[in-house]
Amino acid sequence: MPTPSRTDEQVRETRSTQARRLRDALRLEVLECLDSGAVLPSEADLADRYEATRNAVREALGLMRSEGLVDRRPRTGTTVVGQKATAGTDRLLALSEYVKSGDGAITNEVLAARVVRANPTVARKLERAPGEAVVLIERRRMVEGRPLSLDTTFVPHDLGARLLDTDLAGTDLFHLMERDLGVDLVAASTSIEALPADPDAAALLAIPVGTPLLASSRLVLRADAVPAAMEFVRYRHDRIVLSGQTFRGKE
């Protein structure tokens, strides 16, 4: 068996390397265990707990501050200020079902709600003819008054026309479809990637043009695998975490 050319003992790690690894661990603790307003242990306590140098701890906390997750002030310490919403990837959930109650109120700004002609891509996903009438619903989703996502949804006209008379600003679309329309939503196929913010999305999400966004394309299915909605969602990367449980199958 070949001998590795380098080992951890042979490589002198930089402080930046230590800070990066420490930042990853501390971020997970903040995201999973702490609420907004919580105060982190002191630099000395963190250094002792994670067997790191004070300088590495200071740099790790600085990295977390730069992404808006914590704030650092003299005599106050390091405080969690930007908790992220955690979206499950193993279940089909509405926003209100994965945002914790402590994260603040969810509000929706309706940007568009009207009948449009399906473009070829939307028509193919919804199994409709190109140019057929569908309903476009576009909303800016806010948590604690801060933009979280830009949601663009296309719904077949036979379902979507009834949505136009519902409370689009106050309720999740999934709840409206299930509660008011009696639609049984059962599954979704989703693709997720990182994309730079275009000028329109950047303005709506209050971020600079080109900022990385977490982009999701999701086809929502009702019973018998019938398409119920096609969604294009752009999340601010600094306000969302994807989390789920997966299993390794054995052949």
Quick one: pLDDT at residue 208? 92
pLDDT of residue 94: 66
Q: 85-243 adopts what CATH topology?
A: Chorismate lyase (3.40.1410)
The mean pLDDT of 141-151, rounded to a whole number, is 88
User: Which pLDDT does position 224 carry in this prediction?
Assistant: 86
Q: Do domains 15-80 and 85-243 have the same CATH topology?
A: no
| pLDDT at residue 131 in the model | 93
CATH topology for 15-80 is Arc Repressor Mutant, subunit A (1.10.10)
- Looking at residue 91, what is its pLDDT? 61
pLDDT of residue 127: 95
Percent of the chain with pLDDT over 90: 42
For the segment 77-121, what is each residue's pLDDT rounded down to a tens digit? 899 886 666 665 556 666 666 665 444 578 899 999 999 999 989
Per-residue pLDDT reduced to its tens digit, 16-38: 888 888 988 898 888 778 877 88
**pLDDT for res 89:** 58
Q: Mean pLDDT across the chain, nearest whole number?
A: 84
The domain ranges of the chain are 15-80, 85-243
Does residue 9 carry a pLDDT above 60?
A: no
Q: HEC string of the chain?
A: CCCCCCCCCCCCCCHHHHHHHHHHHHHHHHHHHCCCCCECCCHHHHHHHCCCCHHHHHHHHHHHHHCCCEEEECCCEEEECCCCEEEECCCCCCHHHHCCHHHCCEEEEEEEEEEEECCHHHHHHHCCCCCCEEEEEEEEEEECCEEEEEEEEEEEHHHHHHHCCCCCCCCCHHHHHHHHCCCCEEEEEEEEEEEECCHHHHHHHCCCCCCEEEEEEEEEEEHHHEEEEEEEEEEEHHHEEEECCCCCCCC
